[in-house]
């Protein structure tokens, strides 16, 4: 085992930033795509570097889920803050706030509503709370502590080496790095 797998140099002072949501942003038109010339002799291709809005081509079925309200988002953060003061560790906080039967699942019952919430600044605030709690010292032998489970992930050696290097650069353990990555938002279209 390498030493990087056991590093534990808590760097909780690093700010947490939301991941970019590129799939929600409008696309840039390709400046090399030839345009179609109409009968009048004009090209109907967009100008180079002009933003193209493809949302008008989307089906209406995506808009069936009601928009989440500001009050719902604020309620999520308020309750998350209250729970962060009441629970003993980040694992219990995660279970009560982000777990399958947690606060977010109750406030936002559909997957579309949860996806909407994950793009808000309030969700980023809850991620900040979780990151701060993960930086706190943990008591290992707590009574009634949730069981931990182990997973084995098969990955290419080059990806493993890259993760080890990233953990080393961040002065953290491979385990903490992987947990941090697992807690991030992921677009379902990126999972294959």
Using one digit for the tens of pLDDT, what is the confidence trace for 86-125? Answer: 988 888 898 899 888 899 999 999 888 988 898 899 998 9
d(CA 21, CA 184): 12
The answer to the question of residue 125 being in a domain is yes
| Same-domain check for residues 129 and 80 | yes
Instruction: Give yes or no: residues 77 and 132 share one domain.
Output: yes
Are residues 93 and 159 part of one domain?
A: no
More confident residue, 151 or 54: 151
* Domain boundaries, position 159: 155-186
- Whether residue 106 is contained in a domain is answered as yes
Region of poorest pLDDT, from 28-37, 60-69, 92-101 = 28-37
Distances (CA, A) of 79 to 11, 104, 115, 166: 26, 10, 19, 34
State residue 93 phi and psi, 5-degree precision.
-60, -45
Please tell me the predicted confidence (pLDDT) of residue 24: 45
Q: Total domain count for the chain?
A: 2
Q: Is the pLDDT of residue 10 over 50?
A: no
Q: Does the residue 26 lie in any domain?
A: no
Quick check: is 192 in a domain?
Answer: no
């Amino acid at each position: 085992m390498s030493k990087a797998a056991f590093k534990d140099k808590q760097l909780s002072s690093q700010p947490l930033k939301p991941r970019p949501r590129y799939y929600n942003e409008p696309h840039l038109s390709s400046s090399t795509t030839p345009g179609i010339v109409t009968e009048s002799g004009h090209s109907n291709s967009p100008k180079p570097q002009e933003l193209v809005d493809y949302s008008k081509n989307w089906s209406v079925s995506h808009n069936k889920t009601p928009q989440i309200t500001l009050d719902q988002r604020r309620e999520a953060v308020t309750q998350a803050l209250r729970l962060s003061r009441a629970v003993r560790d980040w694992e219990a906080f995660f279970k009560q706030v982000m777990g399958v039967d947690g606060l977010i699942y109750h406030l936002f019952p559909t997957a579309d509503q949860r996806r909407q919430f994950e793009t808000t600044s309030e969700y980023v605030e809850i991620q900040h709370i979780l990151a701060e709690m993960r930086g706190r010292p943990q008591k290992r032998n707590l009574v009634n502590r949730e069981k931990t489970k182990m997973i084995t992930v098969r990955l290419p050696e080059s990806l493993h080496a890259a993760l080890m290097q990233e953990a080393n650069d961040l002065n953290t353990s491979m385990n903490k790095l992987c947990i941090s990555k697992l807690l991030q938002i992921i677009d379902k279209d990126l999972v294959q």
